[in-house]
């Protein structure tokens, strides 16, 4: 399944709410397809809020392996790709921290 960011978010790609729209589209595709491809068409985002809410927070409940296996992000500008990687790793660390805290409290 292919998602064009421009189709989902139109011209608004800065706010967390815009990111939520993108994530909902991804989550819908997640249930229906083996892989989900998100195409940024080289549009510059430069918003941590959008990339975090749209994609990175998936790592709060999915493993990085699962994300790598099922989600493809294409045509993202290089600075945005770097930012998205950083945000996703931060969310994955947050999840691991939460899991260890929960395990520790058992």
Partner 1 sequence: VREFLNQIGFDKFANAGGSAPLQIEPGTLKLRQLDALDPLYVRSVAELLAQRVPGTSEEAQHTIELCLNELLQNVFEHADSRIGCFVQARWHAERENVRLAVVDGGIGIPSALRRKLVASLQRSGDDNVIIAAVTHRGISSRAGGRPGGLGLKLLREIAVERGGCVTVIAGNAKVIFKQTGPRIYKSPVFRGTAIEIDFRPTIPASPPGEEIF
| Binding residues for partner 1 (CB under 8 A) | 12, 14-16, 44, 46-49, 52-53, 57, 60, 64, 67-68, 71-73, 76-91, 93-94
In contact, 80 and 40? CB cutoff 8 Å: yes
CB of 31 to partner 1, least distance (A): 21
CB of 25 to partner 1, least distance (A): 17
Q: 21 or 91: whose CB is closer to partner 1?
A: 91
Dist CA 7 CA 62 (whole Å): 25
Instruction: Outline where 2-106 has alpha helix (H).
Output: 5-9, 16-32, 48-54, 64-70, 78-105
């Amino acid at each position: 399944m292919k998602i064009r960011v421009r189709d989902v978010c139109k011209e608004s790609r800065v706010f967390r709410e815009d990111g939520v729209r993108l994530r909902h589209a991804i989550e819908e595709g997640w249930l229906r397809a083996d892989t989900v491809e998100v195409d940024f068409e080289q549009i510059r985002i430069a918003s941590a809020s959008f990339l975090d809410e749209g994609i990175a927070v998936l790592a709060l409940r999915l493993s990085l392996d699962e994300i790598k296996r099922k989600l493809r992000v294409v045509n993202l500008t290089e600075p945005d790709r770097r930012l998205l990687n950083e945000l996703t790793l931060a969310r994955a660390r947050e999840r691991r921290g939460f899991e260890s805290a929960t395990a520790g409290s058992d």
